Chain A
Amino acid sequence: MTAIIALSLLGILNLFLGFWLSRKTIQAATLLFLAGSMALTAMDWNHEMLWYGHMFHTTNTSISFSLIIQLAAFMVVSFSKGFGIDEEHTHPAEYYAILLFSVVGAILMVSFDHLIMFFVGLEILSVAMYVLTGSDKRNLRSNEAALKYFLMGSFATGILLFGITLVYGATRSFYLVNIAQAIANTPPESTPVFLSIGVLLILVGFLFKISAAPFHFWTPDVYEGAPTIFTMFMSTVVKAASFAALYQLLSGPFGTMYGTWVYPIYYISMLTLLVGNITAVYQQSAKRMLAYSSISHAGYMLLTVSANQASTPSTILYYSLSYTLATIVAFGVVMLVAEYQTGRTEKPENFSSFEGLAKQNPGLAFCFTIALLSLAGIPLTAGFWGKFFVFSDIFNRHVYYPVILAIVMSAVGVYYYFKGIIAIYFKEGDIERIELPGLVKFAMWACTLGTLLLGVYPSIVKNLF
């Protein structure tokens, strides 16, 4: 698909633009590039095609995931008023270029038809994210986050690769279609043992990437240490791309091995829901709470993957979109308030620094509230329908324990999301008016209105394909 080539070239162009143009202009150029690549992606709609020696497959599903990823990148770029704190040490052109490159990786990850393509996409995305996590070079917390993310990420890649190798050893191919055929054609008694070991290792590698418990321990530290603008990107783009890829692998080539992977996924999603939600309750820092909330949302999405129904891809799509819109606003407001509070309070990212936000900044408070309500799954927001589709998918499988646990856990979720809302509206504080640049305002309101629109008319996205 042309969007990949276009984005790679435009990323390089972006690097050169850094020589001549100011930060504002580069930001506008990046937005223009992303809008253009979204148009290129959308042009393939309803034209199912194989590219690059049948290694790359554009379907309506993969196109809609690519669009979500590029939309998330668009919003993140709009939110980026400027990277880093001081003018001297920031290199906006490079960061925007790396963002564009990582979007290329994410698009490869959602539309691969060959495991090499998948691996290359995953690594393009991950290596770019390691750089962005550590981009605040003089901040020790950012350094630590980058090292942790890098070590854990490449460890996960190693495990994933070993799994891919074992699957290759058992099926003699990297093409998803051929792997599916090989698995279907071998009788169960003559299947090599290492096929199921390979599938489970691939699963473990993925669980690291999507930060499901018990492989989540790096997530809160990395999300907290990274500059907030990149945390926003990480928690939306990486998650959406990983889930799309995980679903594509499990439902396609490994679909006939349903019995092998479904029970691990049930238990892991239940553990993830428990750990994510219960630890989030005890967090004082809003950023860290959002990190744990992203772990718990990984649990809900894993449940959908395990349902493996005909409606599953559209559920994952809907959930990713609703989660992306809400998370971008939530992290965005945390970023804006923390920037305002830096130097005024000791821990600018804590809930205490949000107290009294609603008095002078009603718009900011409203958007934050809608985002938190959507994450909590309150009706009339997109998050409610996201959870509803997940639960109904898994219910159709006649599996009840995970659903009951998930419903209880989303009630726990309401408690910690409301901590933020209470701090904004019902606590006394002296936050003055925070001036927002036009683009930030636009992105914030667009995401909020999108959340509300999807909450009222979920069928726009749900019935897309």
Chain B
Amino acid sequence: MQSIPEIIRTIPLTHYIMLSSALFCIGILGVLTRRNAIIVFMAIELMLNAVNLLLAAFSSYYSDPAGQIFVFFIMAVAAAEVAVGLAIIVMIYRNIQSIDIGVLNKLKN
């Protein structure tokens, strides 16, 4: 049986870079165009996961575990961010019964 790094290496590295960049750009577009806070939030997670994928690919290609360790850190930190972010969104929903970020414009003069 082939080990996982070898299977990963059967696809050229540039393809991983292209895929991750595409996912990352979709994430950026999502953040910039969507108005629902949860969807914006999901788009940010998509950006982080594009990063994770690329890190894992680089790490397998270079046979260097550091990249995959970084992935664990990103996942842990993203979980912490999700906890705080969802709490903020719930707090807003309790106050205005909506999570549309267009409604929040009290601070614009």
Name the residue of chain A whose CB is nearest to the CB of B53.
Answer: A165
Our pick among B54, B69, B85, B106 for the contact of A154 (Cβ within 8 Å) is B85
Q: From residue B30, how far is it (CB to closest CB) to chain A in Å?
A: 10
A173: B residues at CB distance < 8 A:
64, 66
Decide yes or no: A140 and B66 within 8 Å by CB, A146-B88, A147-B88, A151-B37 being known contacts: no
**Would you give the 0/1 interface string for A205-241, flagging 1 where the beta carbon is closer than 8 Å to chain B?**
0000000000000001100110000000000000000
Which positions 54-109 of chain B face chain A at CB distance < 8 Å?
54-55, 58, 62, 64, 66-67, 69-70, 73-74, 77, 80-81, 84-85, 87-89, 91-92, 95-96, 101, 104-109
Assess A168 versus B58: contact at CB under 8 Å? Given A147-B37, A154-B85: yes
The minimal Cβ–Cβ distance linking B62 to chain A, given in whole angstroms, is 5
Q: Given B17, B27, B84, B107, which contacts A130 in the complex, CB threshold below 8 Å?
A: B84
B104 CB contact (under 8 Å) in A137, A144, A164, A169 = A144
Contacts of B85 in A (CB 8 A): 130, 150, 154
Contacts of B92 in A (CB 8 A): 143-144, 147
Q: Which listed residue (B55, B89, B106, B108) contacts A165, Cβ 8 A? A: B55
Report the interface size for chain A: residues with CB under 8 A from the other chain.
43
8 Å CB contact of A143 from B41, B64, B95, B109: B95
Contact A130 B88 (CB under 8 A): yes
> Which B1-54 residues have C-beta < 8 A from chain A?
17, 20, 24, 27-28, 31, 37, 40-41, 44, 47-48, 50-51, 54
Asked if A194 and B31 make an inter-chain contact with CB atoms under 8 angstroms apart, the answer reads: no
Q: Which of A138, A161, A194 contacts B17 (CB 8 A)?
A: A194
Closest to B99 in A: A147
User: Is there an interface contact between B107 and A145, defined as CB atoms closer than 8 Å?
Assistant: yes
In the complex, what residues of A have CB within 8 A of residue B51's CB? 158, 161-162, 165
B106 with A140: CB separation less than 8 A: yes
Contact A116 B44 (CB under 8 A): no
Q: Are A123 and B80 in contact (CB under 8 A)?
A: yes
Are A127 and B80 interface neighbours, CB within 8 A? yes
A152-187 to B contact mask, C-beta < 8 Å, 1/0: 001101110110111011001110000000000000
A120: chain B residues within 8 A (beta carbon): 73, 77
Interface SS of chain B: helix
Q: Which A residue sits closest to B70, measured CB to CB?
A: A116
Q: Are A162 and B50 in touch, CB under 8 angstroms?
A: yes
Q: Which residues of B contact A168 (CB under 8 A)?
A: 55, 58, 66-67, 70
Q: Which residue of the partner chain, among B44, B89, B101, B107, contacts A155 with CB atoms under 8 Å?
A: B44
Contact of A123 among B28, B77, B101 (CB under 8 A): B77
- Residues B77 and A119 in contact, CB atoms below 8 Å apart: yes
- In the complex, chain A residues whose CB is within 8 Å of the CB of B31: 151, 155
Give the complex CA separation of A284 and B109 in angstroms: 10
Residues in A neighbouring B27, C-beta threshold 8 A: 158
The answer to whether A158 touches B80 (Cβ under 8 A) is: no
Judge whether A131 is part of the interface by a CB distance below 8 angstroms.
yes
Known: A127-B81, A169-B58, A221-B107. A143 touches B17 (CB 8 A): no
Q: Are B88 and A172 in contact (CB under 8 A)?
A: no
Query: Which residue from chain A places its CB closest to the CB of B107 in the assembled complex?
Result: A221
A-side contacts of B84, CB under 8 Å: 127, 130-131, 150
Q: Given the complex, which residues of A lie within 8 Å of B44, measured CB to CB?
A: 151, 154-155, 158
Write the chain B residue with the least CB distance to A178. B66
Chain A minimum-CB-distance residue to B74: A161
Contact: A151 with B41, CB < 8 Å?
yes
What residue of chain A has the Cβ atom nearest to residue B54's Cβ?
Answer: A165
Q: Residue of A at shortest CB range from B83?
A: A127
Distance between B53 CB and nearest chain A CB, rounded to angstroms: 9
Contacts known (A116-B73, A127-B80, A169-B58); A162 close to B47, Cβ less than 8 A: yes
Cα of A157 to Cα of B77 in the assembled complex, Å:
11
Residues in B with CB closer than 8 Å to A166 are 54
- Bound together, the chains give a CA A169 to CA B62 distance in angstroms of 9
A140/B96 in contact, CB under 8 A:
yes
- Besides A158-B24, A168-B70, A169-B58, 6 more A-B contacts (Cβ < 8 Å) are A115-B70, A143-B88, A150-B85, A161-B51, A161-B74, A165-B58
User: Which 3 A/B pairs are nearest by Cβ-Cβ distance?
Assistant: A158-B47, A221-B107, A144-B104
Name A residues whose Cβ lies closer than 8 Å to a Cβ of B. 115-116, 119-120, 123, 127, 130-131, 134, 137-138, 140-141, 143-148, 150-151, 154-155, 157-159, 161-162, 164-166, 168-169, 172-174, 194, 220-221, 224-225, 284, 288
Contact sample, A vs B, 13 pairs, CB 8 Å cutoff? A115-B70, A119-B70, A119-B77, A134-B88, A143-B104, A145-B107, A147-B104, A151-B40, A155-B28, A158-B51, A162-B50, A162-B51, A165-B55
